[in-house]
Structure 1
Amino acid sequence: MTEHDPAGQALHALVEPRRRAILRLVAREELAAGEIAAAFEVSRTAVSQHLTVLKHAGLLTERRVGTRRLYRARPEGLAGLRAFLDEMWSDALDTARRLVEADRGLSDEEVNRAG
């Protein structure tokens, strides 16, 4: 995984269930770090570390207002992961189609004529 692999960064960040929960929280509204931490039974330091991972993966924006840090989900941060999953799904469907056609004894040429 590199910084040029948005899908890998998003997957790495979202492996941890608490990070997914944090992302769900800030998807609805912008929240301060303390408000996010209050939703979990872990230390503020642990929540801060999760926020940092999500931010580095491009999944959160951070805005400072005075001494407060406010976080909101960045839906566009999931674009690389979404493209990766769409490609995998498309490839899987193509493979399934070919398997069904092969099972029915259809050649690629016959399928192309029928399609």
Structure 2
Amino acid sequence: MTYANALRCLADPTRRRVFERLREGPRAVGELAAGLPVSRPAVSQHLKALKDAGLVLDRAEGARRVYFIDPDGLGELRRWLDRFWDQALDAFKHEAETHPPRRRPAHPTPPKRGKP
């Protein structure tokens, strides 16, 4: 899986909703489809796309398949996103170290008021 595949896969709003429902734990297709405006076969197709992108895994439980988030696939996407956070923090640190803020007086003198 690459982060590009994961982002492309999650660009679909229905697929994203299916993926977000898996946050709560492993679910079968019927459970995931409940309350969604798409059919169970459509949810199955979305799960296949999520699986192909490396974001979910499945396992057999009796006669049904249960899907869950693949921590390895999610980890790769997170590592890619974390690079942006790391770069932003490094840039902030550099800016703070090279341009320290000006010091203000501890107790500023209030402005003088003229006579009314």
TM-score for the superposition, normalised by structure 2: 0.70
Q: 1:101 Cα shift?
A: 4.8
TM-score for the superposition, normalised by structure 1: 0.70
Does the residue aligned with 2:57 lie in a helix, a strand or coil?
strand
Does the residue aligned with 1:40 lie in a helix, a strand or coil?
coil
Q: Quick one: percent identity of the two aligned structures?
A: 42
Determine the structure 2 residue equivalent to 1:112: none
1:37 aligns with 2:23: no
Q: 1:100 Cα shift?
A: 4.8
Instruction: For structure 1, list consecutive stretches of 5 or more residues without a partner in the other structure.
Output: 105-115
CA displacement, residues 18-45 of structure 1 (integer Å, 9 cap, x when unaligned): 2222122222232211221123111222
Q: 1:102 Cα shift?
A: 5.1
Does the residue aligned with 1:62 lie in a helix, a strand or coil?
strand
Alignment length, in residue pairs?
101
Counterpart residue type for residue 84 of structure 1: W
Determine the structure 1 residue equivalent to 2:63: 67
**In angstroms, what is the RMSD of aligned CA positions?**
2.3
Greater helix share, structure number: 1
Whole-Å separation in 2 of the counterparts to 1:59 and 1:84:
14
Does the residue aligned with 2:47 lie in a helix, a strand or coil?
helix
Q: 1:14 Cα shift?
A: 1.7
Q: 1:103 Cα shift?
A: 4.9
Does the residue aligned with 2:50 lie in a helix, a strand or coil?
helix
The match for 1:55 among 44, 51, 72 is 51
CA displacement, residues 21-76 of structure 1 (integer Å, 9 cap, x when unaligned): 21222222322112211231112222111101111122211112343111112233
Q: 1:95 Cα shift?
A: 2.7
Whole-Å separation in 2 of the counterparts to 1:39 and 1:99:
48
Paired residues for 1:4-43 under 5 Å = 5-43=1-39
